[in-house]
């Protein structure tokens, strides 16, 4: 069952279109992440669901009913704000009870629901404290508690982890995910952090300049990005994009980089490249972990699905778990991600190997995927 | 190469470093003392003069009263209706303060939350309205209130007071609401509150320091207002404290200094007590509201 649906939704701020023809559906109980760069309209879209922003055109449906003209309180949604928006003059308990007070719930029912939410989030000992006496993580939990007590149809999260430090962010990420598993309620989560979106969401919606670029599961977005923007946005370090054409050289299908030496592509390994007309400018996308150096990795030396190119190491970054290598190759820079350690220094020359079956081909002009 | 100071130079440097805070403290405390002297001396003079006799006030002009006498206070309460006038002033000031703070809070809230593009202009216009001197408005006010039959009534006086307290109140409350994040009211609206509930239950409690400082300001303005009551009020029973003080000057011919100082002390005490009681909130209000 569809819980939230968008039908050609749009919004203008003055003459500027903030959102254009947004159209997607959120299944009931699904955890959806809205992701995109700053100013792409993701928070505006969330606020439109909550009823805090007017919908200029199109319709938003919650639980099958159009909510365009409903007041926020009648939409049965709960929202967790970026700065938590806790009421500073109320205690934790009063913050959580506020929404039930507005709903004219009985005192007994309100208290039961408040205690239940406090128990779920481990807030029992903080109920009589004021927000100013809480840490960032505790405030975050209170904000979630305030949302939980309502028992809404949809939870909306507006970048709730952005004010937390890295460690707490990871912790809260797991807590929100656990909460979703426990409650099973539809959740829409806005973030600009792709790691948050990839790790938490079941569906990810990528927005750019007010338009949806792709909707899919995190793995779909990672493995089959529909365009260059998605390919570059998802994945860290970002996907390498090499400009060039696909040509027949001495009867063999090759990728010809700009001003570079043709790289033969073994037949049937790079599916998208076979539909490209000769001379058509393309972008060959290859993720850093799909490039290997001699030695590490499970690739046997005689695997013919790999294309080889010479490269010179320019920079080595060791994260502890991985090694990131930036190498000069094909008149540009290529990032390589090696799982584990790799002993090399700037200036070393290697024959790097591109895993063609996992590479992507995009039209250089439109940026669209070509397969 | 780093130049290492000679031990003697080191000592001199240390001495200089010690001297600077001492000199700074002396100059700061000296300045504060002078300022306090300037501000507090008139109060001291007022209070001491009120308990001196005529000779000490007008002829000997002693700094410290040689003989303490409360005769001026006894005469004041017997010869004038100062307590009644004090009551008039108090209730009018309280009423105007409550009306001003209520209307100004609502107007300022609307200005900061809804009329964003026009808000700056409206706020400026309200400030300019406050800057217009009362003397310019007094004749039109008098004519208007006379036509409405409100001359020599407290209602007329209250209306005239509101003409200058409201613009000031709106300006001050606007500065206060600007510091309160809108997201809390948005959270309240999503939590099921309507706009009024979001305003009264969420925004107003946070605007409390601003409300207190605005109230004190408005109250002081009303308490000390002279021009409107002197022009609009003629009956003795409707007078406010400033007219009582004016009457005691005897038109400059026969100033009863003892009585005048006693009356001034009586007029100052309530406002001083209110100020002392709410001083902490006033400072907080200024700090949060950016009234500079």
Nearest CB to B181 within list A83, A99, A102: A83
Any CB–CB contact under 8 A between A77 and chain B?
Answer: yes
Any CB–CB contact under 8 A between B206 and chain A?
Answer: yes
* CB–CB contact A102 B192 (8 Å): yes
B223, B89 contact by CB (below 8 A) = yes
Question: Strands of A282-286's sheet, edge to edge?
Answer: A263-264, A252-257, A240-249, A282-286, A360-363
- Same domain? B32 vs B134: no
Percent of chain A topping pLDDT 90: 51
A11: pLDDT strictly greater than 80? yes
Alpha-carbon distance of A179 to A119, in angstroms, equals 12
Residue B192 within any structural domain of the chain: yes
- Same domain? B273 vs B232: yes
- Same domain? B39 vs B98: no
Residue B261 within any structural domain of the chain: yes
* CB–CB contact A102 B186 (8 Å): no
A325, A367 contact by CB (below 8 A) = no
Residue B206 within any structural domain of the chain: yes
Q: How many CB pairs under 8 A join A and B?
A: 59
* Amino acid B287: pLDDT: 64
pLDDT digits (tens, 9 = 90+) for A106-151: 999 999 999 998 988 888 899 999 999 998 889 988 998 999 898 8
- Return the CA Rg of chain B: 26
Counting as low any pLDDT under 50, the low residues of chain B are 1-2, 290-292
pLDDT digits (tens, 9 = 90+) for A298-326: 545 555 556 678 888 999 999 888 899 99
A207: pLDDT strictly greater than 90? yes
A365: pLDDT strictly greater than 60? yes
A210: pLDDT strictly greater than 70? yes
Any CB–CB contact under 8 A between B184 and chain A?
Answer: yes
Residue B73 within any structural domain of the chain: no
- Same domain? B91 vs B213: yes
Question: Residue A220: CB partners within 8 Å, gap ≥ 6?
Answer: none
- Same domain? B17 vs B109: no
Tokens representing residue A352 in the block: 């790097």
Q: Which residues pair with A34 in a beta bridge?
A: A190, A205
- Same domain? B174 vs B113: yes
Q: How many CB atoms lie within 10 A of CB A253?
A: 19
- Same domain? B24 vs B88: no
Residue B40 within any structural domain of the chain: yes
Q: Classify each residue of B53-66 as buried b or exposed e, where b means 16 or more C-beta atoms within 10 Å of its C-beta.
A: beebbeeeeeeebe
- Same domain? B129 vs B43: no
Q: How far is A76 from chain B (nearest CA, A)?
A: 9
- Same domain? B42 vs B182: no
Question: Residue A90: CB partners within 8 Å, gap ≥ 6?
Answer: A98, A130, A131
Q: Which residues pair with A244 in a beta bridge?
A: A257, A282
Q: Which residue of B has its CA nearest to A51?
A: B190
Q: Which residue of B has its CA nearest to A75?
A: B190
* Amino acid B8: pLDDT: 65
- Same domain? B131 vs B274: yes
B173, B104 contact by CB (below 8 A) = yes
Any CB–CB contact under 8 A between B246 and chain A?
Answer: no
Domain that holds residue B37: 7-50
For chain A, what are the domain ranges?
Answer: 2-233, 240-363
Q: How far is B209 from chain A (nearest CA, A)?
A: 12
Alpha-carbon distance of A148 to B44, in angstroms, equals 62
Interval A58-77 mean pLDDT:
91
Q: How far is A78 from chain B (nearest CA, A)?
A: 6
Residue where the block lists tokens 């700090």 = B287
Percent of chain A topping pLDDT 70: 96
Domain A2-233, CATH:
3.40.50.300
Q: Which residue of A has its CA nearest to B185?
A: A85
Domain A240-363, CATH:
2.40.50.140
Nearest CB to A102 within list B183, B184, B191: B191
Q: How many CB atoms lie within 10 A of CB B80?
A: 19
Tokens representing residue A40 in the block: 């792409």
Any CB–CB contact under 8 A between A78 and chain B?
Answer: yes
Any CB–CB contact under 8 A between A72 and chain B?
Answer: yes
Residue B135 within any structural domain of the chain: yes
* CB–CB contact B190 A78 (8 Å): yes
Nearest CB to B183 within list A81, A102, A150: A81
Q: Within chain A, where are the H helices? A: 42-50, 92-102, 107-121, 136-148, 166-183, 194-200, 218-223, 228-233
Q: How far is A348 from chain B (nearest CA, A)?
A: 40
* CB–CB contact B191 A146 (8 Å): yes
* CB–CB contact A88 B206 (8 Å): yes
Task: Report the domain count for chain B.
Answer: 2
Nearest CB to A103 within list B183, B184, B192: B192
A182: pLDDT strictly greater than 50? yes
B-chain residues within 8 Å CB-CB of A89? 205-206
pLDDT tier at A87 (50, 70, 90 boundaries)? very high
Interval A28-32 mean pLDDT:
93
Residue B132 within any structural domain of the chain: yes
- Same domain? B147 vs B186: yes
* Amino acid B23: pLDDT: 84
- Same domain? B29 vs B138: no
Residue B174 within any structural domain of the chain: yes
Q: How far is B165 from chain A (nearest CA, A)?
A: 28
Any CB–CB contact under 8 A between B116 and chain A?
Answer: no
């Amino acid at each position: 069952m569809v819980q939230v649906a968008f039908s050609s939704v749009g919004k203008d701020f003055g003459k500027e279109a903030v959102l254009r023809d947004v159209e997607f559906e959120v299944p009931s109980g699904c955890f959806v992440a809205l992701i995109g760069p700053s100013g792409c309209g993701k928070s505006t879209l969330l606020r439109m669901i909550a009823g805090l922003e007017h919908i200029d055109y199109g319709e938003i449906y919650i639980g099958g009913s159009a909510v365009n003209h409903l007041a926020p309180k009648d939409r049965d949604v709960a929202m967790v704000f970026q700065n938590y928006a806790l009421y500073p003059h109320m205690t934790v308990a009063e913050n959580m009870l506020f929404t039930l007070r507005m709903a004219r719930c009985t005192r007994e029912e309100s208290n039961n629901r408040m205690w239940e939410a406090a128990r779920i989030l481990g807030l029992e000992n903080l109920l009589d404290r004021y927000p100013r006496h809480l840490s960032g993580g505790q405030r975050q939990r209170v904000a979630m508690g305030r949302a939980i007590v309502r028992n809404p149809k949809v939870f909306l999260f507006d970048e709730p982890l952005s004010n937390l430090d890295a460690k707490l962010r990871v912790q809260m990420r797991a807590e929100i995910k656990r909460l979703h598993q426990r409650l099973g309620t539809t959740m829409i989560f806005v973030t600009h952090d792709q790691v948050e979106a990839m790790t938490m969401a079941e569906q990810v919606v990528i927005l750019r300049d007010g338009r949806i670029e792709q909707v899919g599961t995190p793995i779909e977005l990672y493995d089959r990005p529909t365009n260059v923007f998605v390919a570059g946005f998802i994945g860290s370090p970002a996907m390498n994009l090499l400009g060039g054409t696909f040509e027949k050289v001495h009867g063999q299908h090759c990728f010809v980089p700009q001003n570079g030496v043709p790289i033969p592509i073994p037949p049937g390994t790079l599916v998208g490249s076979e539909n490209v007309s000769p001379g058509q400018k393309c972008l060959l996308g290859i993720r850093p972990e799909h490039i290997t150096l001699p030695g590490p990795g499970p690739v046997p030396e005689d695997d013919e699905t790999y294309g080889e190119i010479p490269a010179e190491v320019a920079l080595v970054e060791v994260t502890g778990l991985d090694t990131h290598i930036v190498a000069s190759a094909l008149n540009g820079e290529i990032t390589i991600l090696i799982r584990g350690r790799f002993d090399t220094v700037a200036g070393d020359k290697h024959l790097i190997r591109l895993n063609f079956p996992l590479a992507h081909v995009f039209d250089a002009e439109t940026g669209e995927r070509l397969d | 190469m780093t130049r290492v100071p000679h031990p003697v130079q080191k000592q001199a440097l240390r001495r200089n470093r010690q001297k600077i805070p001492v000199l700074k403290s002396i100059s700061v405390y000296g300045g504060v003392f002078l300022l306090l002297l300037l501000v507090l001396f008139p109060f001291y003079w007022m209070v001491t003069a009120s308990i001196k006799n005529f000779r000490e006030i007008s002829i000997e002009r002693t700094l410290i009263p040689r003989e303490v006498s409360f005769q001026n206070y006894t005469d004041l309460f017997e010869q004038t209706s100062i307590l009644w006038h004090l009551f008039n002033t108090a209730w009018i000031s309280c009423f105007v303060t409550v009306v001003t703070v209520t209307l100004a809070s609502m107007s300022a809230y609307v200005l900061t939350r809804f009329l964003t593009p026009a808000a700056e202009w409206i706020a400026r216009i309200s400030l300019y309205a406050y800057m217009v001197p009362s003397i310019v408005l007094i004749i039109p006010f008098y004519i208007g209130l006379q036509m409405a039959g409100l001359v020599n009534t407290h209602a007329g006086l209250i209306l005239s007071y509101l003409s200058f307290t409201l613009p000031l109140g709106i300006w001050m409350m606007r500065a206060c609401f600007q510091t309160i994040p809108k997201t809390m009211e948005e959270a309240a609206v999503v939590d099921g509150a309507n706009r009024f509930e979001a305003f009264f239950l969420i925004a107003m409690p946070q605007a409390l320091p601003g409300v207190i400082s605005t109230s004190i300001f408005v109250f002081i303005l009303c308490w000390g207002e002279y021009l409107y009551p002197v022009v609009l009020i003629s009956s003795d029973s409707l007078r406010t404290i400033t007219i009582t003080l004016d009457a005691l000057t005897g038109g400059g011919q026969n100033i009863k200094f003892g009585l005048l100082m006693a009356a001034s002390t009586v007029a100052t005490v309530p406002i001083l007590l209110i100020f002392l009681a709410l001083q902490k909130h006033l400072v907080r209000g200024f700090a949060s509201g950016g009234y500079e």
